[in-house]
Amino acid sequence: MKPETRIGFGWDSHEFKRGIPLRIGGVELAHPKGLGGHSDGDVLLHAITDALLGAVAAPDIGSLFPPSDPKWKGADSAIFLWAALQRVQEAGYAVVNMDSTLILAGPKIGPHAAAIRARVAELLGIPESSVGLKAKTPEGLGTDNAAVAQVVVLVQKAPSSAAASAQGPVQDLT
Ligand SMILES: [Zn+2]
């Protein structure tokens, strides 16, 4: 029998690079540097994606969307999150809440926290009151040129498969 609830954990890091946009949690933040690497470098959405996949023991983001595949260069990371959400729903679960910590020297997340929480809530299809977001500076870690995201999600058995498909992810890529 499937357990009623499961948790998932996700971790990601990206290096800051000049001259590219900074996207965190699906929100573009004004900053001289953005996060390089896989897709649009959205460290928070990647960690959420891995947390969702981990909750249902699915393969991780790098296995499903290999960074070596040019198809994902510059891609909107919401695509990865939706695919992971689909896996959660196919396994018969729905997201209850998520919590996250960002570790980065800058920019300050406080002024953008409401916008990031709203966007993440929208992507996950849960209320903003179920999206936790905390930001820390990397004291003593020597990682001032990187952004790290840590995420946990709780999922619970969906009431029925019909309900699960009714609240399926929105395929609006804007
Ligand atoms: Zn990443």
pLDDT digits (tens, 9 = 90+) for 13-42: 999 999 999 999 999 999 999 999 879 999
Q: Model pTM?
A: 0.90
Angle between helices 113-124 and 43-55 (to 10 degrees): 40
> How many Å lie between the centroid of ligand 1 and the Cα of residue 163?
31
The pLDDT confidence band at residue 67, using thresholds 50, 70 and 90, is confident
Residues with C-beta atoms within 5 A of ion ligand 1:
12, 46
Residue pLDDT, tens place only, 108-149: 999 999 999 999 999 999 999 999 999 999 999 999 999 999
> How many Å lie between the centroid of ligand 1 and the Cα of residue 139?
22
> How many Å lie between the centroid of ligand 1 and the Cα of residue 43?
5
